[in-house]
Amino acid sequence: MASSNFVDYVKIFCRSGKGGAGSMHMRREKFIPKGGPDGGDGGRGGHVIVKGSRNHWTLLHLKFQRHVFAGHGMSGSGQGSYGAQGEDKTIFVPLGTIAKDAETGEVICEITDENQEYILAKGGLGGRGNMHFKTSTNQTPRYAQPGQDLVEVPVILELKVLADVGLVGFPNAGKSTLLSVVSAAKPEIADYAFTTLVPNLGIVNYRDYKSFVMADIPGIIEGASDGKGLGLRFLRHIERNSILLFLVPSDADDIKKEYEILLNELKNFNPELLDKQRILAISKCDLLDEELMTEIKQDLPEIPYTFISSVANLGITELKDMIWKSLEESNKDITK
């Protein structure tokens, strides 16, 4: 997924259609010169609907679509004819998209399932024709209802990547390399910080044809929760992950300290992230011997950990086993 094609934030102006007016028509035929009221109802105005789609991965298709207008309902007519309904407009979004009111910031809806729908702007109801207002004391009502007015809503669409496992680490920790090894994803890899500028998703195959989705989140730096570096722009993608996989290279000055800095940034951004399952992977273990590994183990945080090397393909199977076990535990907690 090219960086220029990844869009996770758009602002659009939604306008529903207004309802059609009811008809104020009297029946007039050759042998019925003074027939009763037969004005039909006006049609409903079109809705603006947001709908989940697995065929979309980003909000790129909405980047230049600043306005979404639904069709207006048509007016009713004689002989009880109803006006046509205004055309609905459907906005397809990837799963994990949140819609917010652009003026208040209030969350309108969250789209997490395929074909899940929500009406962002309701079309106005059509007015009732005069045939509805005939009474014993008023045989020829010469009035009908106007259609309801349209609704205008400025909406922010914000994508939070849906994945089972989110890779968390400093820039150049080896997250993209790991993703490229365990999945078919081809993220950009280079020996400098901030190579990854957009989240990358990869499907990781596991035993017995099982699989899970892993997301490579752009590197976090100290102060990211305050907007430093790539800041808040990508931290929100971690909120959707079931498991957080912390990746710290074995040549770091202090592995435990780096882990605590990363954890603190997540805590400052959203304390609820600390409730997620956590795994620590010490990367680049091909640089270590048994003695160094034993020494490192003595000062690691008290969470499940493992040593891996993406380049040498060491410890990758063990890491997958740990992830799958944590996913099963996480699913059990959800179903309780």
CA-closest candidate to residue 216, choices 278, 264, 174: 174
Top pLDDT among 300 and 2 is at: 300
Taken in order of first residue, the domains within the chain and their CATH numbers are 1-159 (2.70.210.12), 165-335 (3.40.50.300)
Structure tokens at 169: 């680490």
The pLDDT tens digits of the residues spanning 60-102 come to 889 888 899 999 999 999 888 999 999 999 999 988 899 999 9
Q: How confident is the model at residue 193 (pLDDT cuts 50, 70, 90)?
A: very low
Residue 252: CB atoms within 10 Å = 17
Nearest-5° angle of CA 33, CA 34, CA 35?
105
Pairing of strands 9-15, 152-159: antiparallel
pTM comes to: 0.69
